[in-house]
Amino acid sequence: MGERKQDKLLGIRTVGIREWKDGVVHYNRYEATPYKALKSLFKHYKFSKTDKVVDFGCGRGRVAFYIHNHFNIPVTGIEVNDKTYEEALDNKTRYKFKAKDIGAPIHFHYGLAEHYKIDKSYNCFYFFNPFSVQIFKKVINNILRSVEKDIRTVDLILYYPLPEFKDFLKNNTPFTIINKIRIPGTKDCHEKFIIYRLREEDYIAYENSLADIS
C-alpha cells in the first residue's frame, strides 16, 4: 500500500519533505520514516502497556500516530520547525476523529529536542536522524541525567543510524545494542533500525565505574 493510502487510514498527512532555510547546520530536514520500515520494526520490537515514548524531531507526527494507534500507549513528539509542528497539530485533530477509542494520550511539544526536560515516566526514545551528532550527544546526556535521577531501563530506537551516532553510543555511553532490524528489499546499508538498551543494573555498574575513576 502506498504512503498516502496508509496516511489516510490514520487520518493524517505526513508525506513529503521540508528543507530548512540556508544557514541551519545542525538541524536536519523533515522526512517521515517509511511505513514499510515501521512495519518491519514492529514485527520484531513490541511495546508493553507501561511504555511511554518520545519521538525527538517528530515532524508531522507519523511515528507518534503509528505507535499510538498500534499500541495504545502515551507518545510525545518534539518538533522545532513551526510549520511542521502546526501540521502535526492539524494531523492530531484529524487523527482523533478516527481514533476515538484509543485512550492513551498523544502530545506534540514545540521546541528544541536538546532543551526538552525528560519526565521520569518516559522509557523509549525514537530518532530518525533529526539533527547533528553534537545535538544528539546533548539529548543522550539529558536521557542519562533523567536515568541517574530516576533509575530505570530505557531504550533508544535509531532509524537510519549513521556511523558517528553509533560510535558515540558505543564509546561514550553505557547503552548496548539489543537488536538490529533490516527492512526487506532495501540495498542502502544504513536503512535499518538499531535498538539500544540501558538496563537498570547496567546503569548502576556504569555509575560505579565512573566513581572508581574519579
Which residues in this chain contact ligand SAM in the complex, by CB under 6 A? 27-28, 30-33, 55, 57-59, 62-63, 78-81, 84, 112-114, 128-131, 135
- 6 is written with which cell numbers? 496508509
Q: Is 159 helix (H, G, I), strand (E, B) or coil?
A: strand
Cβ distance to ligand SAM smaller for residue 136 or 203: 136
The residue with its CB nearest to ligand SAM is 57
Rounded to a whole number of angstroms, the minimum distance from the CB of residue 204 to ligand SAM is: 30
Q: How far is the CB of 127 from ligand SAM (least distance, A)?
A: 7
Shortest approach of ligand SAM to residue 90 CB, angstroms? 15
The answer to whether residues 14 and 31 touch, using CB atoms and an 8 Å cutoff, is: no
Q: How far is the CB of 50 from ligand SAM (least distance, A)?
A: 23
Q: Contact 128/160 with Cβ under 8 angstroms? A: yes
For CA atoms 131, 33, 112, 72, the dihedral sign is negative
| CA 28 and chain centroid, separation | 14
**Helix%, strand%, coil% for the chain, nearest 5:** 40, 20, 35
SS3 (DSSP) at 132: coil
Residue 67 or residue 198: which is nearer to ligand SAM going by CB?
67
CB of 44 or CB of 115, closer to ligand SAM: 115
Nearer to ligand SAM, 31 or 207 (CB): 31
Residue 14's identity, in one-letter code, is T
